Amino acid sequence: MEVKIGVQYAPREIVLESGQSAEEVEKAVSEALSGKAPLLSLVDDHGRKVLVPADRLAYVEIGEPTARKVGFSAL
Protein backbone atom coordinates (compact mmCIF):
# COMPACT_ATOMS: atom_id res chain seq x y z
CA MET A 1 0.00 0.00 0.00
CA GLU A 2 1.42 3.38 -0.98
CA VAL A 3 0.83 6.14 1.59
CA LYS A 4 1.59 9.83 1.03
CA ILE A 5 1.57 12.11 4.07
CA GLY A 6 1.56 15.87 3.84
CA VAL A 7 3.05 17.64 6.85
CA GLN A 8 2.35 21.28 7.67
CA TYR A 9 5.35 23.61 7.24
CA ALA A 10 7.33 20.87 5.44
CA PRO A 11 8.27 21.42 1.79
CA ARG A 12 8.01 17.74 0.82
CA GLU A 13 5.52 14.99 1.48
CA ILE A 14 6.42 11.66 3.10
CA VAL A 15 5.93 8.70 0.76
CA LEU A 16 6.15 5.13 2.01
CA GLU A 17 5.20 1.64 0.94
CA SER A 18 3.44 -0.14 3.79
CA GLY A 19 2.36 -3.73 4.23
CA GLN A 20 -0.62 -2.52 6.25
CA SER A 21 -4.06 -2.65 4.67
CA ALA A 22 -5.95 0.49 3.67
CA GLU A 23 -8.34 -0.06 6.58
CA GLU A 24 -5.46 -0.24 9.10
CA VAL A 25 -3.90 2.96 7.75
CA GLU A 26 -7.26 4.73 7.76
CA LYS A 27 -7.90 3.63 11.36
CA ALA A 28 -4.48 4.93 12.48
CA VAL A 29 -5.11 8.28 10.75
CA SER A 30 -8.60 8.67 12.24
CA GLU A 31 -7.29 7.86 15.74
CA ALA A 32 -4.55 10.47 15.37
CA LEU A 33 -6.96 13.12 14.09
CA SER A 34 -9.59 12.41 16.76
CA GLY A 35 -7.05 12.89 19.56
CA LYS A 36 -6.90 9.27 20.69
CA ALA A 37 -3.23 9.09 19.66
CA PRO A 38 -0.80 12.04 19.72
CA LEU A 39 1.19 10.58 16.79
CA LEU A 40 0.37 8.95 13.48
CA SER A 41 2.46 5.79 13.51
CA LEU A 42 2.95 3.67 10.38
CA VAL A 43 5.43 0.92 9.50
CA ASP A 44 6.94 0.67 6.00
CA ASP A 45 7.91 -2.47 4.06
CA HIS A 46 11.46 -2.37 5.46
CA GLY A 47 10.27 -2.39 9.07
CA ARG A 48 11.00 1.29 9.70
CA LYS A 49 8.47 3.17 11.79
CA VAL A 50 7.29 6.59 10.60
CA LEU A 51 5.93 8.90 13.30
CA VAL A 52 4.18 12.18 12.50
CA PRO A 53 2.66 14.50 15.13
CA ALA A 54 -1.12 14.43 14.70
CA ASP A 55 -1.44 18.21 14.94
CA ARG A 56 0.94 18.66 11.96
CA LEU A 57 -0.95 16.43 9.49
CA ALA A 58 -2.04 18.29 6.37
CA TYR A 59 -3.33 15.30 4.38
CA VAL A 60 -2.94 11.54 3.99
CA GLU A 61 -3.36 9.87 0.62
CA ILE A 62 -3.88 6.10 0.60
CA GLY A 63 -3.46 4.26 -2.68
CA GLU A 64 -2.39 1.07 -4.34
CA PRO A 65 1.32 0.52 -4.93
CA THR A 66 2.52 1.63 -8.33
CA ALA A 67 3.83 -1.13 -10.56
CA ARG A 68 7.34 -0.42 -11.69
CA LYS A 69 7.80 -0.90 -15.39
CA VAL A 70 11.00 -2.66 -16.35
CA GLY A 71 12.39 -3.17 -19.81
CA PHE A 72 11.49 -1.94 -23.22
CA SER A 73 8.43 -2.89 -25.18
CA ALA A 74 6.41 -1.66 -28.08
CA LEU A 75 3.10 -0.12 -27.12
- The domains of the chain, with CATH numbers, are 2-63 (2.30.30)
Q: What is the mean pLDDT of residues 58-75?
A: 75
Q: List C-alpha distances in Å: 5 to 53, 56, 66, 72.
A: 11, 10, 16, 32
Average pLDDT value over all residues in the chain = 89
Once rounded to an integer, what is the mean pLDDT over residues 19-23? 90
Of the pLDDT bands very low, low, confident and very high (cuts 50, 70, 90), residue 17 is: very high
Q: What is the mean pLDDT of residues 20-24?
A: 91
What are the E-state strand segments in 1-75? 2-7, 14-17, 39-43, 49-53, 57-63
Of 20, 13, 67, 6, residue with least CA distance to 48: 20
pLDDT exceeds 70 at position 65? no
